[in-house]
Amino acid sequence: VFPSLCVLITHPTEGALLYDTGYAPGFFAATQSFPERLYRWTTPATLPPSQSLEAQLGLRGLRLSDIRTCLISHFHADHIAGLRSLPAARFICMRDDFASLAGASRFGRLRRGFLSPLLPDDFEARVGFADGSPAQSLTGAWASLGKGYDLLGDGSLMAVPLPGHAPSQMGVCLEDAVGRAVLLCADAVWSRQAWQDLDLPAWPTRLVMHDWQDYRCTLLRLHELARHEPGVVILPSHCQESIEAYRAASGGRP
Ligand SMILES: [Zn+2]
């Protein structure tokens, strides 16, 4: 099982935010024809109706139009497939991740795991860059991660660059509803073993990394974070074990 995590964040004044969208029906439409169909062949995905963004938000009393902000970790299709279904959301990402897609050919984009039809037509008018404001030194449990960006201006969501898998990749540090420090780290690692044991991916997987040296440095930062701050919850987007452990500690639902 290789889940694709989408996180709902409820902020007292900013309302409902998402961190990534996971898969969505748009993914299957965008991979109908070649060459994009290759993407679906190499990473076969299923999306039961009960797992759709709309259904999962509905369980929490929310509609797709209630999402006011969507934080984009990076532009791989399994993280952004639902952007088109968020009519009222502004988007926040790291500048280099978006810039790396501009000017790339159709094949070049596909090779980087990006499917252009997934972006809303007015994406550029709705996007802002997390790193458009000055970086700040992170404090407390997050100090070892270096510098970050205050996404909402109140310190509640700090974006931190986790480069390697993608040019920049935006991780987010936050405190959850019961006071746990949580790092949403997207694809900086794919499993708990990776940061616990410094377990580097095998060679074929390295070929899909944007920058292997950056990937290793990011992995080392997560390893050090876990070692010095064992209370911090590190949540990768595709680690079933980590997601289930977090859910279990939250009484069944994060
Ligand atoms: Zn990815």
Comparing 132 with 199, which gets the higher pLDDT? Answer: 132
> How far is ligand 1, taken at its centre, from the CA of residue 104, in Å?
17
* Mean pLDDT on 119-136: 96
CA distance 158 to 234: 14
> How far is ligand 1, taken at its centre, from the CA of residue 180, in Å?
25
pLDDT per residue as tens digits for the range 190-245: 889 989 998 888 777 777 789 999 999 999 999 999 999 999 999 999 999 999 99
pLDDT per residue as tens digits for the range 56-81: 999 999 999 999 999 999 999 999 99
> How far is ligand 1, taken at its centre, from the CA of residue 249, in Å?
26
Q: Which helix (H) or strand (E) holds 244?
A: helix 240-249
**What pLDDT score was predicted for residue 101?**
85
> How far is ligand 1, taken at its centre, from the CA of residue 47, in Å?
18
Across the strands, what pairs with 183? 173, 234
> How far is ligand 1, taken at its centre, from the CA of residue 67, in Å?
22
pLDDT per residue as tens digits for the range 138-197: 999 999 999 999 999 999 999 999 999 999 999 999 999 999 999 999 999 988 998 999
Query: What strands, in cross-sheet order, belong to the sheet with 127-129?
Result: 7-11, 15-19, 67-71, 90-93, 127-129
> How far is ligand 1, taken at its centre, from the CA of residue 74, in Å?
7
pLDDT-derived band at 30 (thresholds 50, 70, 90) equals confident
* Mean pLDDT on 82-97: 97
> How far is ligand 1, taken at its centre, from the CA of residue 112, in Å?
9
**What pLDDT score was predicted for residue 253?**
60
- The percentage of the chain sitting over the pLDDT mark of 90, rounded to a whole number, equals 70
**What pLDDT score was predicted for residue 186?**
97
Q: Locate 184 and state its tokens.
A: 């949403």
> How far is ligand 1, taken at its centre, from the CA of residue 99, in Å?
16
